[in-house]
Amino acid sequence: MMFWYDHDISGWGWFAMSASMILFWALTITVAVLLFRALARPPEHTHVPSAPTAEQVLAHRLARGEIDEDEYRRRLGALRQSGPGAPP
């Protein structure tokens, strides 16, 4: 029966056990916080391409050959003369 009472935990044993418990809970809480942040973060790739401006559409039409250079210059002048806030 002496065997059961002969193996007490010394001061260093209590220290190691306490330190490992603190380390365990610190790691558990850190993993939980990082997981929560990763799941709660909105997706980073939410870039919506903007619509092309009127001048870009006009330039693309010239590049595709839908309009000639004279018509391009005439329409570009009309666009720039009316300005961005002018009604159509």
Give the separation between CA 86 and CA 88, rounded to whole angstroms. Answer: 6
Spatial separation of the C-alpha atoms in residues 73 and 55, rounded to whole Å = 11
pLDDT band at 1 (very low <50, low <70, confident <90, very high): very low
What value does the mean pLDDT take over residues 54-68?
Answer: 93
Q: Looking at residue 5, what is its pLDDT?
A: 58
Residue 63 confidence (pLDDT): 94
Report CA-CA distances (Å) from 34 to 21, 26, 37, 43, 83: 20, 12, 5, 16, 50
pTM, rounded to two decimals:
0.42
pLDDT at 86 over 70: no
Greater pLDDT, 51 or 31: 31
% of the chain exceeding 90 in pLDDT: 50
**Angle of helix 54-64 relative to helix 69-82, nearest 10 degrees?**
180
